[in-house]
Every structure is written in C-alpha cells, then in structure tokens.
Amino acid sequence: MFHRSANLFLRPAWAEDAGSIHAAIADPAIVRNLARAPWPYTRADAEAFVGLPAEPFLPCFLMTLPNAEPAQIVGGAGLGRDEDGQVQLGYWVARPFWGRGFATEAARALVGLAAALGHHRLVGWHFLDNPASGRVLAKAGLLPTGQVRPLGCRARGERVMAAEFALTLAEEGPLRTEMRAA
C-alpha cells in the first residue's frame, strides 16, 4: 500500500532501506519516545523491521520526500495495536526534519486511511515527557481521553507515564465488523 499526501510519499519499507532507516532512527532522542524500538537501535534492528510481514489492515510506512534524489527517509508512520489490542497510530521523524509538520501530515493521512480500512476507533499514546507528540495527535483530530497510565518503553527499559488520545472513525456495522475480522 502507498499513500501520497501534500508533501510526503508514504510507502512500505524495503530490504534496501535498512541502512537509511538505521541512520534516520538511531538517535536516543527519537527512540526514547517509541514503545517498541530498542536502544541502542542497530542495523540488525532495521533489518528485522524491514523483514516484518505486512498486515493489510495495519499498514506501516516510511515517510519520504517524493521528489528528493536520492530518496530521503523523513521518518515512519503506521497503524498497529497498543497493549490493549486497540488500533493505534504511531510515528517518528528523523531529527533533521523536526518542526516541519511532517508528523502531523502523516498522522492525518493515517487517520483517513484507518477510516477507509474500516477501523471504528483509533488511539494514540504519547509519553508525558514528549508533549510535542500530544500536539501532533491533537492536530490529527484525536482527542485526549483523560486516561494516563504507564506504558512499556523498550528503549528506556521501563514503563513510562503516557496519555491516551482517541478518535471514533465510524459507527459499527456489518461491513466494518467483517472487514476487521478479515
């Protein structure tokens, strides 16, 4: 699956991207704000990431600049499952691209994709010591639920206090239930 937004081309990660992914994400300031990424983040971690099987209803993308030569990895964004099994929005942006609105643009694109894929509800969590991520979730249309609890952070090796944001995408119906079960 591919998606084009105003400034980004969202595409799957390929095996040949492992080195570029490693170079973009192997930064403690990035990885400490992600639930599943380890620290240190190694080339082998990037190779394992690109080798993960694709899940059609939970796509993961690399954010790239569409006209950059060579192709530049801005970050990553995708849908997954949180600790409770809810459909979760996640993203990261490489340091050279911070503050340029790319996380918000990708998050908004994924909200639309999640709705198109038939997901009923979308959640996003951000660690409390990373309020910028909370602003991204809000700009993408998710609302704070008031739920704050510790969530696992593999890079930090501990559970870290996080706030939940959520958005109802569509009402339940037979087609949506069927699509999710597929």
Model confidence pLDDT, tens digit, residues 80-89? 999 899 999 9
Return the H-helix or E-strand segment holding 175: helix 174-181
Q: What angle do CA 66, 71, 76 make, to 5 degrees?
A: 80
* pLDDT category of residue 68 using cuts at 50, 70 and 90: confident
- According to CATH, the topology of domain 3-181 is Aminopeptidase (3.40.630)
Query: What is the pLDDT averaged over residues 151-175?
Result: 88
Residue spans of the domains in the chain: they are 3-181
Return the H-helix or E-strand segment holding 123: strand 121-127
* pLDDT category of residue 171 using cuts at 50, 70 and 90: low
pLDDT above 60: residue 7? yes
Query: What is the pLDDT averaged over residues 110-133?
Result: 97
Query: What is the pLDDT averaged over residues 6-31?
Result: 96
- Please state, in angstroms and rounded to a whole number, the distance separating the CA atoms of residues 129 and 78: 22
- Please state, in angstroms and rounded to a whole number, the distance separating the CA atoms of residues 164 and 146: 7
Q: Reduce the DSSP state of residue 180 to 3 states and report it.
A: helix
First to last CA, the chain: 17
* pLDDT category of residue 172 using cuts at 50, 70 and 90: low
* pLDDT category of residue 100 using cuts at 50, 70 and 90: very high
pTM: 0.90
